[in-house]
Structure 1
Amino acid sequence: MATSAVARETVFALRRQIAKIEGTLPERLAAPAGERPRARADGDAGGPESDIAPDITIIRRGLAVASPDAFLPTGVERLDATLSGGLPKAALTEIHGLETRNAGAVAGFVLSLVSLILRGQRLPVLWIGTSEIFREAGFPYARGLQGMFGIAPEQLLFSEAAKLTDALWVAEEAAKMTALAAIILEIRGSPQRLDLTATRRLHARAQSAGRPVFLLRQAGEAEPTAAPVRLIVSAVAAASRRTIVGPLAGSIGRPAFTVSIGKSRSALPGQFTLEWNPDEHSFEERREERPENSVAVVSASRGRADSAPAPGTVVAFPAVGSPASGDQPSRPQRPAHIGPRRAG
């Protein structure tokens, strides 16, 4: 029995190590009926065995059952339920923008997540990027951070690297620091340097420090990474500003994002439209509203006869007093370069 218990503990330890590398989440399983798991006491390599808790925490691939503290909830009930609690805190999370024009939406969405992380904290956030990224997409507007996201300008630090290799090195070193609330690494395209090995290192550093690392990818194809979750973010038209008497026509309301789950080990693909509330610093899901003139479809009555048969050949007759189709004068031709131009 002692040999069997030691072998079982060895298997559990190997499962934990493999799951830690893969980034899967723990599940708590009860011990089999009639058995009490046993393990050697700490610091006693050859001493007697001691009893441990009746349940053992093991990690199994594909399951996402963990403590609520392991996740960052977005506040949107349907999205959090799909992600089994929210985004993992101590992990690498990929935020993907398919086109360069979505750079602002991707940055705004990540800053919204940072705002959720910084509630009640004064820790800084490090934003890392190459010169190409900051030249193409620009820097976040410092004066707008406080009002829109509740982030003080001094809390957001920037690191501009000349090459992607330098940016990766800075991100790996910063991911080990517990003095940072989060790390943001922004890249452009699909560079070869950002392969599966590089993302595994970032993910491992995030797990060790217990801090999130957000990988922002602008205008690149989806490639294999070690990130457990990949969200595809794009901009969506803002709704009208809401007032007491209803929507204010011609106004611009809250910023909105279309968020698609491109990759998740615990969720199926899905798409959500989220609005950011700058007053409450929280997300709200926008539900599609039915147009005012729309009418619900009503099924046909069972007592009615069958519908009319399909019409046969339709023949068009000229209207009374109008010339026949063959007698109509042809329209004068004019060169294409002097034709009417398309407005605006």
Structure 2
Amino acid sequence: MAMTAVARETVFALRRQIAKIEGTLPERLAAPAGASPDDRDIADVTVVRRGLAVAAPDAFLRTGIEPLDDALGGGLPKAALSEIHGVETRDAGAVAGFALSLAGLILTRQPGLPVLWVGTSEIFREAGFPYAGGLRSLFGIAPEQLLFSETPRLLDALWIAEEAARMTALAAVILEIRGSPRPLDLTATRRLHARAQDAGRPVLLLRQAGEAEPTAAPVRLIVSAAPSASRATIAGPLAGSIGRPAFTVNIGKSRTALPGQFTLEWNPDEHVFEERRTQEERATNPVAVVSASRRRPHPAPASGAVLAFPAVAAPASGDQPPRHERPAHRRPRRAG
């Protein structure tokens, strides 16, 4: 349908206003297939580019997965509210594990500072607490670096999270909420986002079994559990075994507005994320089973060419060497 001049000017004004708010640069968009001539003329005009404004590289928490970090515009923003959403109740373990993985990455850059986990009695009764014995071995988090605050009411949890978000004595704040409660509205998330920006600390909002509602968080990741691969050994995958923790991460919301789905594995030995590759990718890009030594000299160079000598025919079974060529201990003894 052809657009009138008034509607066209309205669209241009909205695009300019969006570009002013987001601080983005304009670029051209291609006209969709089957568009009318008037719509093609509109597409030729510069429109708003979807993307982040220019920011310092250290303003983001990089996951180490380049495709995911690029889709997020550099990674998760450090001084901001980020939402990690679990669609169903059974995803609570995956959401908590993913949040602990991010907390481990945050503490490696800010050692000595604790992380505060805030939640209501309902959410801790439903999803449970993280196992203290596995924090250090799996995520590199000392038990004394993870603090918990349990409240009977959601309003109290929101107040504690808002007050803690402004403190620079904490490396990060995690707020875990179940469902879609009314107090967690756009105003409450704006306050959390503003406190995170003022303190320069990340605030992670964990949403368990709730609908995706409008929030002030610039990033929303939808996390669920992925099938774990078999444990890798030198002889190959161990059949029937359970390998590393795996997560399916979907980008539900970001400043770049780029969709994407990624399957990540958490390496509990190196405390880093690794992207799971398909069988075709592993066949085309093989990797060594045993990693190279880091603190020792380089291994010896590979051996040279192998020479093949001509085979010597074996003697027949009835052939015997002459008497003078026989070994002394095999010669027949004299009788008498």
TM-score, normalising length: structure 1? 0.67
Following superposition, which runs of at least 4 residues in structure 1 exceed 6 angstroms of deviation? none
Structure 2 contact 244–267 (Cα < 8 Å) conserved: yes
Between stretches 205-214 and 117-126, larger displacement belongs to 117-126
* Post-superposition CA distance 1:172-221 (Å, at most 9, x none): 00001000000000000000100000000000000000000000000000
1:64 Cα deviation from its structure 2 partner: 3.4
Aligned equivalent of 1:152: 142
* Post-superposition CA distance 1:227-262 (Å, at most 9, x none): 000000000111001111211111111000000000
2:126 equivalent among 133, 136, 141: 136
Aligned equivalent of 1:174: 164
Aligned equivalent of 1:124: 114
| 1:179-328 map, 5 Å | 179-290=169-280
Between stretches 241-250 and 210-219, larger displacement belongs to 241-250
Aligned equivalent of 1:161: 151
Aligned equivalent of 2:82: 93
1:74 Cα deviation from its structure 2 partner: 0.2
1:62 Cα deviation from its structure 2 partner: 4.7
Between stretches 243-252 and 60-69, larger displacement belongs to 60-69
Q: CA RMSD in A?
A: 2.2
Structure 1 CA distance for aligned equivalents of residues 191 and 122 of structure 2:
24
Structure 1 contact 64–84 (Cα < 8 Å) conserved: no
Structure 1 gap segments, 5+ residues each? 1-14, 29-59, 293-344
Assess, with a 3 A threshold, how the Cα gap between structure 1 residues 268 and 206 changes in structure 2: closer, same or farther.
same
Please give the secondary structure, in 2, of the residue aligned with 1:222.
Answer: coil
Structure 1 contact 272–285 (Cα < 8 Å) conserved: yes
Tell me, yes or no, if structure 1 residue 71 matches structure 2 residue 60.
Answer: yes
Bigger radius of gyration, 1 or 2?
2
| 1:104-115 map, 5 Å | 104-115=93-104
TM-score, normalising length: structure 2? 0.69
Please give the secondary structure, in 1, of the residue aligned with 2:176.
Answer: strand
| Sequence identity percentage | 78
What is the number of residues matched between the two proteins?
241
Structure 2 CA distance for aligned equivalents of residues 113 and 243 of structure 1:
27
Structure 1 CA distance for aligned equivalents of residues 263 and 53 of structure 2:
24
Assess, with a 3 A threshold, how the Cα gap between structure 1 residues 76 and 291 changes in structure 2: closer, same or farther.
closer
Assess, with a 3 A threshold, how the Cα gap between structure 1 residues 291 and 212 changes in structure 2: closer, same or farther.
closer
Answer 1 or 2: which has greater helix percent.
2
Structure 2 CA distance for aligned equivalents of residues 128 and 280 of structure 1:
27
1:290 Cα deviation from its structure 2 partner: 4.4
1:288 Cα deviation from its structure 2 partner: 2.4
1:63 Cα deviation from its structure 2 partner: 3.0
Assess, with a 3 A threshold, how the Cα gap between structure 1 residues 132 and 169 changes in structure 2: closer, same or farther.
same
